Structure 1
Amino acid sequence: MGNTIAIDYNRPRCLIISDDCKNAKLPNILKEMKDRNLDFQIIDYSNEMASETLEKRLSNQPLGCLLILLVNPELSRRIVHIAREIHFSINDIIVISDSGLSRHVFCGSCHFINENIQARRFNCKKCLNELEVSDHFSAYYQAVLGYPVIKQAGVEHE
């Protein structure tokens, strides 16, 4: 999946919330926004703010605002929950996770959500199928997608 981040920049405004302003992905996103002369704002969430303050800042955004989250998974779930209660749709929210963190993984076979997974490959805790973790994040499930690993008969993998 590489370092490419697919973002729909055709929005009236972008709001970026980051818990680490030294995130390696942030400069590329900011450069793209500046190159396109887009209206954007950054919230540094490294010093945790109260839910009421965050809710107020989110509710002051115009409809159609793109919310980009560069935060840890626990904070991401909290912010997405608040944003969805206000006016943000699933299509208005992009969560860019750091692959080094543990995360929830949605099983593409049985639809079980496996919690706190750190490995790139693991066995689903419900159906036991081997899954490979993708970079595809579902704001609806608050989890990344785990693709079932298809094994061919007589072929050994890694």
Structure 2
Amino acid sequence: MRAVTLALMLAVALPVAGPALAVQPHEMLDDPALEARARALSKGLRCLVCRNENIDDSDAQLAADLRVLLRERLVAGDTDEEAVAFLVDRYGEYVLLNPPATGVNLLLWVAGPAMLLAGVGIAFATFRRRGQVRAEELSEAERARLTEILKE
């Protein structure tokens, strides 16, 4: 019973503690204000290895490199926008977890809901068409039989 309890406690604790261990102590800045800015910015930057995980939570080496690069830019005096723009220029808009809905990205933002609406429309039309009884497709004998069945 103790082993089961311990296993359950570990299963609950490890996912919670994992992201906190991603940023290594040697990566952190001495200035708390700069470190807070770096943490806030890195929450919006995507790990290029892990996909939908921000660089702050990722243990990938590339994410660590991006965290260090971001901190170097902030120490060099870049504003938040300049530091993020530097990474976007270098890695493309894919590095942003929430890219702006402009240009080609607008097509990607609209494509999902448009496909969903088209699918719902097609499904509605298909089910509606299936539900209609087409009397013109029945022969005289079939119509007579149908009338008998409906009277019973």
- More helix, by proportion: 2
Regarding TM over 0.5, the answer is no
Task: Please report the TM-score for the alignment, with normalisation by the length of structure 1.
Answer: 0.23
Bigger Rg, which one: 2
